[in-house]
Copies of this chain bind each other. A is one copy, B any other.
Amino acid sequence: MKIIRTVHEMQAEADTFRQAGKKIGLVPTMGYLHEGHLSLIRIARSRADIVAVSVFVNPTQFGPNEDLDKYPLDFERDERLAKESGADIIFYPSKKEMYPEHYLTYVNVEKITGILCGTSRPTHFRGVTTICTKLFLAVKPHFAVFGQKDAQQAVVIRRMVKDLNFDMEIIVGPIIREKDGLAMSSRNAYLSPEERQDALALNESLKLAKDIIAKGEKKTEIIIQTMQEHINSKAHTRIDYISIVHPDTLSPLNEIEDRVLIALAVFVGETRLIDNTKLEI
């Protein structure tokens, strides 16, 4: 496995692979890999000749009071795990390589980035779409794999790829959970034992929603209220949002339709966690 640290070298490698007819798959990550990331690397492995994993803690997707400075990092561990999961290349640029002095360019997807997570994180998706554009142009992949855990991110990236004419596919891998149901996240490392326990309320509330929908409840307001009550019953939780939306457009729904996305963000202590489920009825 090769570690590449500059855009120039990455592009030269990508050109060589493309010239030889090889299919390149990219898994963009911020490192501190967990089983969720590894599942995406395995998906890429099954579809590509060359699997590139990018590891870059992207400063532009963090807000001024967010956890950029304490975001966990362990490159040696990431290197080992990526290799074991089938990566051929780790693209591991420095912040200066990606955002040199005099950097001025941003990619923005409008409307669908101002709702859900975009309400409490107004510049987050602009950072995500900018870094993804930069990574796609550096790695020149035929496809990139993202996780369904970040449901809104997947919708936003798909929209951007289509809008800007990126000639590549976006593949979305399923949410990977701990045995007790907590969606895997690098941010779970921040949780105290009590918070870790209360964090189960996210997935539990999604299950509750599925149960009452299965029993015939159509009104999203009632479903959301049930979820709120469950989460608010835990001592360390503070709800950021709970929304039931169309899975492609992210438009809020008043009534359950054939396909819905139930998404939520909850602060558990100081840690903001997200989770979601897609229902096809």
Q: Which A residues contact B (CB, under 8 angstroms)?
A: 7, 11, 15, 18-19, 21, 102-112, 129, 133-134, 137-138, 140, 159-160, 163-167, 249
Contact = CB atoms under 8 A, between A and B. Distances in A.
A276 to B, nearest CB: 21
Given A105-B109, A108-B108, A137-B164, 6 more contacts: A7-B165, A102-B249, A104-B110, A104-B163, A134-B164, A140-B167
A33 to B, nearest CB: 23
A138 B159 contact: no
This chain: copies in complex: 2
Contacts of A18: 18
Nearest to A168: B137
Interface of A, secondary structure class, is: mixed
Contacts of A137: 164-167
A13 to B, nearest CB: 12
A7 B165 CA distance: 7
A129 B133 CA distance: 14
Nearest to A110: B104
A102 to B, nearest CB: 8
B104 A129 contact: no
A21 B249 CA distance: 40
Contacts of A133: 107, 164
A138 B166 CA distance: 8
B163 A105 contact: yes
For A19, A159, A165, which residue has the most chain B Cβ atoms within 10 angstroms? A165
Contacts of A103: 163
Contacts of A104: 109-112, 159, 163
6 contacts: A105-B129, A105-B163, A107-B107, A107-B133, A133-B164, A137-B166
Closest 9 CB pairs between A and B?
A105-B163, A137-B165, A104-B110, A138-B165, A11-B167, A105-B109, A105-B160, A134-B165, A104-B109
For A7, A103, A111, A137, which residue has the most chain B Cβ atoms within 10 angstroms? A137
A173 to B, nearest CB: 23
Contacts of A167: 11, 15, 137, 140
A165 B164 CA distance: 15
Contacts of A105: 107-110, 129, 159-160, 163-164
A175 to B, nearest CB: 25
Contacts of A129: 105
A186 to B, nearest CB: 25
Contacts of A11: 165, 167
A225 to B, nearest CB: 31
A144 B148 CA distance: 37
Nearest to A138: B165
